[in-house]
Structure 1
Amino acid sequence: MIRRQRGFTLLEIMIVLSLLAVLLTLVGGAILGANRAVLKADRYTASLDERRAAQAFLRASISQALPLDISDDDSESSGFFEGSEQRLQFVATLPGTLGGGIQLHTLTLGGPESDRHLQIAFAQVKGNVLRAWGEPQVLLHGVRSLSLSYRGLTAKGEPTGWISQWPWPNRLPRAVRIKVQMKGPVGWPTEVVALRLDLSGGAGG
């Protein structure tokens, strides 16, 4: 007696293919979700590293501000420290890895309203001559707003408290406070930078 081998019916094959399609869809969705999570983590890490680098650079440079008058006219003094709520200009040394020498640092917000960033420009000080070099360097992307304030002593030696405008360009403040509002999940904790050279009581007269 010959037995006939029973094969799969068309309906069974379609059911199996449907189950495989569902399984592949689930696996593909899981892989895409994992890739998105990895990319999001990479972006977060990059933003965190950028913020830390910007904070470290600002701490190092502002803390070493120098009372060096860079005006080219000996009969006049333009001062060496200018601070407003959204702009800071001071004289300090630059690390050798970035070119070295005494540089005029100018910290501002740059870019269009939709893509604001924190930037700094440099001008090398040679004698009383300033030589700007290169384009402003971007320190931090995704910035909503910048708020700078200053604290030091008045000409009478009285503490100022935090003020948004430093009115004495021939005097160094004791500290600079930096507040930055960021886009995205990576924030910027308020940073206070103390100047190492304490000449706030009468630098430059």
Structure 2
Amino acid sequence: MNTAPRIGLLFGSFNPIHTGHLIVANFMATHTDLDAVWLVVSPQSPFKAEQELLAERERYHLVQLAIAGNERLRALDTEFGLPKPSYTVDTLSVLRTQYPNHQFVLLMGEDNLAGLPKWKQVDHILEETPIYVYPRSGASALPKVPEQARVVEAPLLDISATFIRNCIRNGKSIRYLVPENVEEEITRKGYWQ
């Protein structure tokens, strides 16, 4: 029997981390066969412009604040030491070297499935790494799901970091959209104002 820990990897810019990210991460860590979920903070996605991107260390710190006290969740800054933009295949290679006894599962929203064929070395990723897909509101009919992927019945959430940044800029409350300690840090540091 294989007892290697099964770790879900939730990649994101987390700009900022919000309740939607946390609900998905915790749901995957507690309602599937995963032992834990690691939130991989990406310094720069190859598919996203760098505009409005808070410095990587500040975003990583907000993720750490958000998950404090939840032993099933962990923040990773692995991609900070890799060339930018970050590619999932390279990050997986580093993690497999660092944690040879772990099994990794990619976690992604169904809205990201359509872009999967554009990923660097996607065939290699799919050969080695299962994918758990969670539903996203606003995603049109589910794109073709690779046979390595499993769609998980998870809560449907419609919270975006863009909406939160716009609220901050417009002086609107972000209470309950982000954890209280994250809101306090954003306010204290004046992020996105």
**TM-score band, normalised by the shorter chain?**
under 0.3
Larger Rg, first or second structure (1 or 2): 1
Q: Higher RCO, 1 or 2 (CA under 8 Å, sep at least 6)?
A: 2
**Structure showing the higher strand proportion among its residues:** 1
TM-score, scaled relative to structure 2 = 0.24
